[in-house]
Structure 1
Amino acid sequence: MRLPAFLRPRTAKQLAGQAGEDQALIYLQQQGLQLLERNFRCKGGEIDLLMQDGKALVFVEVRMRSEKKFGGAAASIGTAKQKRLIIAAQIYLQRYSMPPPCRFDVIAFDDKEMTWLKNAIEA
């Protein structure tokens, strides 16, 4: 019998990803954004961070790469991943009778260098 996900030990990659999300969250909060939800999961996909920036709802994808090979962390968000993010955002937005203005941002870590890309994904 397989253990539920919350009882399984986390891999080194998962722990590194969690640390990256923690760092991204702290940075975005320092920039004035407020956390609404973390790791929103649905059938369509997952959104790492849901933040409020003024009146805008910000869907944040955090990506990490140890090197900038093949374009780095931001370039690793391909068309399929973008579609999953958009579907997850659409599902999340069903909570609102009047959805707020939205954008998709990316926090990209290439080795230890962090870059914040606002409006990184067109929906």
Structure 2
Amino acid sequence: MAEHIEKGKLAEELAKDWLISKGYEFLEANYRYKHAEIDLIFKHKGLLIFVEVKFRSGTGFGFAEEFVDFTKRKLIVKAADQYIHEKDWHQDIRFDIVGVYKDKNNNYNFRQFEDAFY
């Protein structure tokens, strides 16, 4: 498996565990609909939350939220619409981005951007 894919999968697993530790209820990972994918799906405080996870090995080239462009957001929303339809969800939703950052000491840090887009 390519190194960037392995890092991405690790980042998703770390973000999932981190959000669970914050009281989020994990529902699903890597939900796919056609060409769209949602990294993680949670429930928290009555909301259905769709999470895009981005791994960065530093912030020299920018923060995680800067790497979720219009096209990516559009695909995530499309997949979320399908998921909402499948699950017959009738409550509020939110789209978050979680940045997973690896520092010089090989420690992982997290930055969550709630309600990042719609």
Instruction: Indicate which of 57, 80, 85 corresponds to 1:94.
Output: 85
The runs of 5 or more residues in structure 2 that have no matched partner are: 103-107
Tell me if the contact between 1:29 and 1:35 (Cα under 8 Å) persists in the aligned partners.
Answer: yes
Give the match for residue 95 of structure 2.
104
Give the match for residue 115 of structure 1.
111
SS for the counterpart of 1:60 is: strand
- The size of the alignment, in residue pairs, is 113
Kindly tell me: are residues 54 and 66 of structure 1, through their superposed partners in 2, closer, same or farther at Cα, counting changes over 3 Å?
A: same
Give the structure-2-normalised TM-score: 0.87
SS for the counterpart of 1:68 is: coil
Letter in 2 for 1:114: F
Give the structure-1-normalised TM-score: 0.84
Tell me if the contact between 2:38 and 2:50 (Cα under 8 Å) persists in the aligned partners.
Answer: yes
Deviation at 1:96, TM superposition (A): 3.6
Deviation at 1:107, TM superposition (A): 0.5
Give the match for residue 105 of structure 2.
none
Deviation at 1:44, TM superposition (A): 4.4
Give the match for residue 3 of structure 1.
none
Kindly tell me: are residues 98 and 66 of structure 1, through their superposed partners in 2, closer, same or farther at Cα, counting changes over 3 Å?
A: closer
Q: String of CA shifts for 1:24-77, please: whole Å, max 9, x gaps.
A: 011100110011111001114000000010210000000012232342221011
Q: Percent identity?
A: 29
Letter in 2 for 1:81: K
Letter in 1 for 2:30: N
Distance between the aligned counterparts of 1:42 and 1:82, measured in 2? 14
Kindly tell me: are residues 62 and 98 of structure 1, through their superposed partners in 2, closer, same or farther at Cα, counting changes over 3 Å?
A: closer
Distance between the aligned counterparts of 1:67 and 1:97, measured in 2? 39
**Structure with the greater alpha carbon radius of gyration:** 1
Tell me if the contact between 2:55 and 2:99 (Cα under 8 Å) persists in the aligned partners.
Answer: yes
